[in-house]
Amino acid sequence: MATNFTASANEPNGLCFSPDESTLYLVDTLQSAILAYDVLADGTLTNNRIFAQVGTVVPLQYPDGIRCDRAGRIFCTLDNAGTRSGVRIYDPNGQLLGTILTPDFLSNVCFGGSNQEMIFLTAGDGVYGITRMPDLVVTALNRIPANPTAGQPVTFSATVKNQGTGPTPNGVATLVAFSVDGATNIVWSDGFTASIPPDASVILTANAGVAGSTWPATAGSHVIRARVDDLGRIAESNETNNVRSATLTVSAPPPDNDGDGLDDASEALAGTDAKDGTSVLKILAAERPTDDRLALTWSSVPGKSYRIARKSNLVDLQWASSVDVIPATGAATSWTNSVPINGKPAFFRILVIQ
């Protein structure tokens, strides 16, 4: 270090604090250096020293703006340095890590973005932005059925949002791994390889796992966790916010005296015999008299009324129910109406409403 450099500020300029605010960094433009001061509990400064020599005094190169990131790295702009003009980056010990080169001379620097992963630089006639890193978070953890009973297969899905400023790489699979009570990789979603743009969300459903794509529910209270990018395939601006947890209480299965898979309370509502496995409410026939009409016939109980429910995908949470109330006409009831199918899958269900 040249002997004409001192630890006293001659022409103070930009300043910033370390993440824990124990150190103040001060740019001295005249010395082309960064000075450092220890910050005492009462706010006074001590132990002033030269932290880093940024440029040269002859010819004079101008350090100006300065910022410290969450990792304690120091970013300092350097002007009038020819092909080395740009942002000098130092570790907390003053070791030069590298330089972000820019075509123009710079003045100030600051961070932005949801995780401070963006760098903004002011130049003589404009502002530069350096960014483009994704940041994946799980914003919702879903299961179907929402309130399972013991023994039911449960399908997990997660809503994944890219809250970063850059897209995820196209062709790299976004993995979501689901755990139950600490047992990892119970099920997972893998195979979605499309790029997720900034601020966009996708719903990823488990499609494989240790014992298949669903979890067999067991009675009791459970902690479910979804971790996105479990294998670290995608470089993110924040690698510490990839997990979301939820609690799930699974009740014991309700009584089913005849073992037909329908609980006794549901059979009582349907009017079927809870002690006879052959006495069930079921669709007996489904026909399409014409392309735009559907005819359904189901087992029924006199005195009961029904509605038709429909969904286009079995994983959908809700059934769309018709407004028609259909009274039973005997041991079997039929219904015919216009139901456009449009070449897409359709699933139908008979609902007992009274």
Residue 160: inside a domain: yes
Looking at the structure, do residues 159 and 195 belong to the same domain, yes or no? yes
Looking at the structure, do residues 124 and 20 belong to the same domain, yes or no? yes
Looking at the structure, do residues 155 and 246 belong to the same domain, yes or no? yes
Looking at the structure, do residues 241 and 294 belong to the same domain, yes or no? no
CATH code, domain carrying 120: 2.120.10.30
More confident residue, 85 or 179: 179
DSSP state of 170: T
Q: Which residue, among 66, 69, 65, 63, has the nearest Cα to 84 in the 3D structure? A: 63
Q: Confirm if 25 and 15 have CB atoms less than 8 A apart.
A: yes
Least confident of 214-223, 229-238, 267-276: 267-276
Looking at the structure, do residues 79 and 157 belong to the same domain, yes or no? no
Residue 321: inside a domain: yes
Q: Which residue, among 45, 313, 44, has the nearest Cα to 36 in the 3D structure? A: 45
Q: How far apart are CA 199 and CA 213, in angstroms?
A: 28
Range list of H helices, the chain: 264-270
Q: Which residue, among 153, 146, 77, 85, has the nearest Cα to 108 in the 3D structure? A: 77
Looking at the structure, do residues 281 and 341 belong to the same domain, yes or no? yes
Identify the domain boundary among 226, 250, 274: 250
Residue 85 clears pLDDT 90, i.e. is over it: no
- pLDDT computed for residue 83 by the predictor: 65
Residue 126: inside a domain: yes
Identify the domain boundary among 130, 152, 168: 130
Mean pLDDT of 271-288: 77
Residue 176: inside a domain: yes
More confident residue, 95 or 266: 95
CATH code, domain carrying 286: 2.60.40.10
- Residue 94's alpha-carbon distances to 33, 99, 156, 207, in angstroms, are 11, 14, 48, 49
Residue 71: inside a domain: yes
Query: What is the secondary structure of 121-150 as a DSSP string?
Result: EEESS-EEEE-----EEEEEEEEESSS-BT
Residue 343 clears pLDDT 70, i.e. is over it: no
Query: What is the secondary structure of 222-235 as a DSSP string?
Result: EEEEEEETTT--S-
Residue 84 clears pLDDT 90, i.e. is over it: no
Instruction: Classify strands 243-250 and 320-321 as parallel, antiparallel or unpaired.
Output: unpaired
pLDDT tens per residue across span 231-260: 999 988 888 899 999 999 998 877 777 776
Domain containing 226 equals: 136-250
Identify the domain boundary among 81, 105, 130: 130
More confident residue, 305 or 281: 305
Q: Confirm if 279 and 272 have CB atoms less than 8 A apart.
A: yes
Cβ burial of 70 (10 Å; 0-12, 13-18, 19+) is: exposed
Residue 4: inside a domain: no
Looking at the structure, do residues 275 and 329 belong to the same domain, yes or no? yes
- pLDDT computed for residue 94 by the predictor: 94
Residue 296 clears pLDDT 60, i.e. is over it: yes
How many domains in the chain? 3
Q: Which residue, among 67, 198, 69, 167, has the nearest Cα to 122 in the 3D structure? A: 67
Q: Which residue has the tokens 């809503």?
A: 159
Cβ neighbors of 266 (< 8 A, separation 6 or more) are none
Looking at the structure, do residues 293 and 331 belong to the same domain, yes or no? yes
Looking at the structure, do residues 158 and 209 belong to the same domain, yes or no? yes
Residue 168: inside a domain: yes
Looking at the structure, do residues 191 and 221 belong to the same domain, yes or no? yes
Q: What is the mean pLDDT of the chain?
A: 86
- CA 221 and chain centroid, separation: 24
- pLDDT computed for residue 275 by the predictor: 78
Q: How far apart are CA 59 and CA 136, in angstroms?
A: 46
CA atoms within 13 A on the CB side of 276: 8
| The two structure tokens encoding residue 49 | 């020293």
Looking at the structure, do residues 244 and 146 belong to the same domain, yes or no? yes
Q: What are phi and psi of 268, to 5 degrees?
A: -65, -40
Residue 1: inside a domain: no
Q: What are phi and psi of 330, to 5 degrees?
A: 150, -150
More confident residue, 34 or 112: 34
Looking at the structure, do residues 149 and 126 belong to the same domain, yes or no? no
pLDDT tens per residue across span 140-155: 999 999 889 888 899 9
